[in-house]
Structure 1
Amino acid sequence: MKKMKKYRLPIAIVAAVAFFPLVIFFSYYFGKIYPNVYIDEINVGGKTPEQAVLLIGKNVSTPEKLTLESYEIDLASLDFSYDINHTVQAATAVGRTGNWLFDIKTIFSLLNSKKEIGLRYEIDDEKLTKQLSDIAGGVIVEPIYPSAQIIKKEVVINPGEKGVDVDMPALKLAIGQNLSLAKNSPISIPTKEIDPSLDADELTAFESRVEKFVGKNLTLTFEYQEFFYNDNQLAGLLAPTGGIDEQKLQEEIYEVTKSINREATNPVFVFEGGKVKEFAPAKDGVKVKTDQLKSNFEGKINALETTDEKHFSLTIPALSSPPEIATGSVNDLGIKELIGRGTSRFRGSIASRVYNINLAASRLNGTLVKPGEVMSFNAALGEVDKLTGYKEAYVIKDGKTVLGDGGGVCQVSTTLFRAALNAGLPIIERRAHSYRVGYYEQDQPPGLDATVYAPTTDLKIKNDTPGHILIQATADTKNMTLVFEIYGTSDGRVATTTKPVVTDVVPPPEDLYVDDPTLPAGEIKQIDYKAWGAKSRFNYTVTRDGETIYQKTFNSSYRPWQAIYLKGTGPAN
C-alpha cells in the first residue's frame, strides 16, 4: 500500500507536465483561429475573427471577370461578391466541430501542415447557368440520333453520328474552385462525347425490324376522328436499339389526347326568322384512358412487326361523362340527336374554290326541314353568282371545265348527299357529275357524288322522320375537309349502302392541243384535266324494326375526259 503511494506522486507530476502545454495552447487560442489556417494563402492562424476579417478584407480583391477559354463573363452581371464573414467563420470552425477526437486529430495536423480555407462567395446561380448555356451553344456539337424512314417502300437508315456536349456539373465545379481560391486564370471548358450511333450489328438489326413495317399502317379511331399512321410514321416510333421509343410514343398519345379530351357541354339552340341561328348539341365529356391507349398502341405496333397483317384499327379507350341538359330539352322541334353525318375532302383546291365551299356551307348551316318536307338544295342555298359573294372557280359547263361563279358548290351538295344517306332519308333527286372529279374520290370510291346547277340540276331530300331535321355544316379550310351533320329524332331506322361497284372503265382520250393566238409562241396552258370514264352502282336500303322502308339503286355514268391544252401561237414576249 505504501509502495503504491510512493508511485502516485511522480505520475501526477508527469501528467501535469504533459497537460500544462495543452492548457497553454488552448488558453492562447481561445477565441482565435488555430495555427496554420490560411485563407487565400494568407495565414490567419492566431487571429481573432475580427482581426481575420480586417486582414482578408484588405488583401483580397474581387475579380471582375471569369475567363472560360476564349469567353469572358462579367462577374458583376452575376451579382458576385465574396462573403468574408462567412469565410472567416469557416476558418474559425476548423478544429471546433464538437467531436473532440476528430478535433484533437485536426489540431495536431495543423502543427505540421497548413489548412487552406476557400473563400465563400455569393452568386446568382440562375444567371450563371443562363450565361454558361449561351457559351455552351458555341461549343456543343449536336449528335445525330439514329432514325429510320420508309420512302416508296425503300428502307433508309441513318446510323447516327457522334456529338460533343459541355459537362456542366464539371464546369461549375471548376468555376467554384477558381473563385474560392481567388484565381483569375482561364478555365478550360470540360466536354464529353455523346455517341448514339449504331454499330454494324445494331444497324443490321434495326434495318431488319423496319423492313417488317413496309406497306403497313395503323388507324386510331374515336367517334368520327381518325389518326392514321403510315409505314414511315410507324418506323419513326421504333427505338433503334429495340422496342418502341417511349418519348415519341408519349408525344403521339399527347397529341391524340389533346384532340379528343373535352368537358361535357350543354346544348345551345337559338331559333330566329325560321332558321336556327346558333346551335350546338349537348356533348358528353370525354377523357382518354392514356395508360390503356399506350398499352394498346404498343400492342398493335408489335403485332404489325410480328405478323403478316398489313393494317390494324384501334378504338381509342375513353371515359365519358354526360352533360347536365340533353339537346331535346332546349327545343320543341324534335332536334334531339345526331342522325346522320357525311364528309368529303378537297385537298388541292384553288383558293377561290375553297372560299366558295366555305361560303356555301355557311349558308346551308342551320337549315331546318319540317316533317314531310322535301328540301331543295338549290332553293336552300339561294343564288350563286358574284352578286351573292361567290368567286370564279372551275365548274363543268357545256361539256367543258371552265371558270364560273361558284365553282366548288358541288363539293357541298356531294357532302350533304352523303349525310342524307347516312341518316336514312329518302333521296328524291340526285344526279352524278358528267365525269369523275378527283376531289370526291379522295375519301370515297366513284359514285358517291351529287352535282347541282340551278335551275336544271338539283339535290332533293325528304324528311320523313317524326320531327324537324337540322342541317349543320362545317368547312375546315386548314385540313381541307367538309362535314355535314343532320340532327333530329331517331325513329330506329338503320341505313346501309353497298360498296359501289365500278364497271366499264374507259381510259381518257388523247390529250388535245388547241392553237391560241392570244398566248405567246411556245407557251402551253392546261385548261382541262383528264379523267377515266366508268360506271358505278350502289344499293341504298333503309330498314326499321327489320322491315325495309326505303330502297333505291344509284347509278352513275362518267364519260372519259381528255386533257386540253392551249398552245401559244402569238408573238413571243
Structure 2
Amino acid sequence: MIKYLYISMFKNFFNAEHVKLVNFSWRRVWVVVIIFTAISAIFLTATFVYAHNYKDKVLSGVYLGGVHIGGMDKTTLSSYLKDMDSKLLNEGIHFSFSLENENKDFVLHPSILSGDDARDLIQINVDDEVNYLVTYRNNNNLLSDAVSAILVRISKPNLSLEHVILDKSGIFDQIHSYLAGYITEPIDASVKIKSVKPLDYEIVSSTPGFSFDYDMVSGQILKSWSNLQVPYIKIISAVKLPKVNEEDVSKIVNRLQNVFDAGPLTISYVDPYTTLKRTWSITADMISDWLEIQKDDNNNFVFVLNTASTTDFLANQIGPEVNVQAEDAKFQIGANGKVNEFSGSRPGVTVDTDATLQAINEAFTARTLHDEGIIKNVNLINKQTEPKIKTEDVNDLGISEIIGVGHSKFVGSPANRLKNIRHAVMDKLDGLLIKPDENFSLVQTLEPFTIADGYYPELVIKGDQELPEVAGGLCQVGTTMFRGAMNSGLKITERQNHSLVVSYYNDLTNGNPGTDATIYGPHPDFRFLNDTGHYILLTVEMNNKTSDLYIYFWGTNDGRRGSYSLPIVSRWIPAPAGLQTIETTGLPPGKTTCQPKFNGAQASFTYTRILADGTREDKVFDSYYRPLSKICLVGIDPNKPAEEVPPVDVYGSTGPIDTSSTTQNSGAPLDSNDPVVN
C-alpha cells in the first residue's frame, strides 16, 4: 500500500512540474524586467535631478538652530547668517549671579565701540560657515550625493555653526569689569615688618576671598551662538582660599633675621656695546615692603619678593636705562632718484623681566633655606632682538620706480587720532623695506601699541564703561596700505573689513564702503605677500591741510598690473530704531555719553591682478557692515537699588530672536510637519 502511495505522489509531482513548464512564458519575464528597469531609471533620474537642483545650495531638510535653511543658496545663506550675527551682537549676552541670597543680572554687549569702528568679541566666520553648510553631506560623487540628498530630506538634521570665533580674553575682561565690585581677593598670611634694625615684625592673618568661576562661560556662549540663540548664562560664585596660612608662616619666620642680615641685593649689568657697568640696589627698606611668602619648586615655603613690585622696578627703574629697541635699516629716495640709506640697522636689547625675577627670588630662597652661600649680587638678564632688515643684507635693492600708491582721507579726525596716524606712518612705515617673499604684517610693524611707544589714547565704550584705549585710528593706515598693495598687484593674504560703515574709509571714487581694512593686534591683521622677487620700499606723505594720506610702494616693475573695481553696495540695512541705554556707575549720575547709530551695508568689489606672464587673477572681496542702534551710557547713583527691568531687544522684542525678518529661500518650502520657530 505504501509503495503505491509513493508512486502516486511521484506522478503528481511530475505532472505539476510539467504543468509549470508548459505555462512558463519568456514574454512575461521580459515585460517584468522592462517595467522594473523603467521604474528604476525614472527613480534614479528623478533622484539625480533632485540632487542637482541643490547644487551650490543647502540640502532640503537641513535645519540650523531649529530653523529650516534648506534650499538657500550661498548669497541668501550668507545674508541670513550676517543678519543673525548682527542681531545676536545687539541683543548681547545675558548673565545672572547670586550674592548673599540676592539675584543680580547684567547684559554684556560683546563689542568695543569707538567713533572709528566696533570691534566684535564674538563673530561668525560667514564664508567658512556657508561653505560648510552648502557642502554638507557632499561627497563629490553623483550617486552618493543623490542618496545623501534623499536621506537628509528624510532625517532632517538640526545642525550647529562650526565656525564661530570668540575673543575669550576680551569677553573675560568685560565680565570682570562688571563683577569687579563684588570680587575680593584672598589675602595670604604674611609678615609685616615694623623695623629692620632691630628687627620687629608681626604675623598678619590670612583672609579668604570671594570670586566667580566663569571659566566655562566661553563654552556656553559658543554653544548658544552656534545655535543662533541669545546666551543666558548663570555665573557661579566661589570662595577663594589663601595659598599661605598662619601655620605656614610660623614654620619659616625664624629665618627672617637671616634674610635681612645678608644685606641689600645688588643687580649688576654690563652694557654689551659700551662695556659700561651699572648697578642697582634692592635696599633693606624695599625688601621689607616687598617681602612675601610663596612655595618653591620643592613645595617649601620661602621668602621671596612680590612679583608686581619687583617687575615694576625692573621695567620702570632699570628698563629705561637698558632697553634699546631694534631698528631696521631704512632708506629714502634721493633727489637723483636713487635709493639712499638714512638710518642703519641696529640690534635691540631688552630686560628679560621673567628670568631676572627668577634669579632674584632664587637669591631670597637661598637666604631662607641656607646659612652659607648667601647671594648678594645677581646679574641682570637681557634679551637681544635682531632687526628684520640689516644694512648688509641690501646691497642690491632692485628699487627703481613706484609700483603702486595707496590713498585715503582723514577729514574730521580728532587730535589724538591724527597723532596716532602720524606716529604709525612717519615713525614706523616711512623708509621701511619689505624683503622678497616676505608675508608683510601691518600689526607686527606698527606694534607695540603703547603710550610709551608714542601712541595716544582715545575713549571707547567697553561694556558699561567708557575707557581710554591706546592707538585709535590705525585702521586709516590699514585701509591705505590695502589700497596701495592692490594697486601694486601684490597678493593679499589677510584682510578684514570694519564692523561698521565709517566715513573715513569710504571709497574715494564713489563714496561707498567696501575698500577698507581693519587691524587690531594680533588679529585682525592686514597682510600681503611681496612676490615681486625684489625689495619693496615704503615712503609716506601725510598732508594735514588737505587731510590726505599717501603711501608709495617703490620696487621693480616686472610687468604686473593691479587694479580694483568700484565697490558696489548690494543692500543698505537701516539702523535699529530706538535708543539702547546702558546704566553705569562709571559716569556721574545723570551724565550721558553716546555712540551714534550706524546703518549697515553689504558691499563687494573685485581685485584684479595681471601677472607678468599674462595670468589673470580675480578675487572678490565681500564686506558686511552690521547696523547698530544709538547707544548711550547713562550715569547712575551706585547706591540706588537696581530696578527689575526685562532685557530689551533693540530689534523690538524681549524674547527669543525673531528670524522671520531674515531672508529664507522660498524655493524649498517647509513640510507640514517641519517645526516652526515663533
Q: TM-score, normalised by structure 1?
A: 0.41
Q: TM-score, normalised by structure 2?
A: 0.35
**Taking CA–CA contacts closer than 8 Å with sequence separation of 6 or more, which of the two structures ends up with the larger relative contact order?**
2
- Highest Rg: 1 or 2? 1
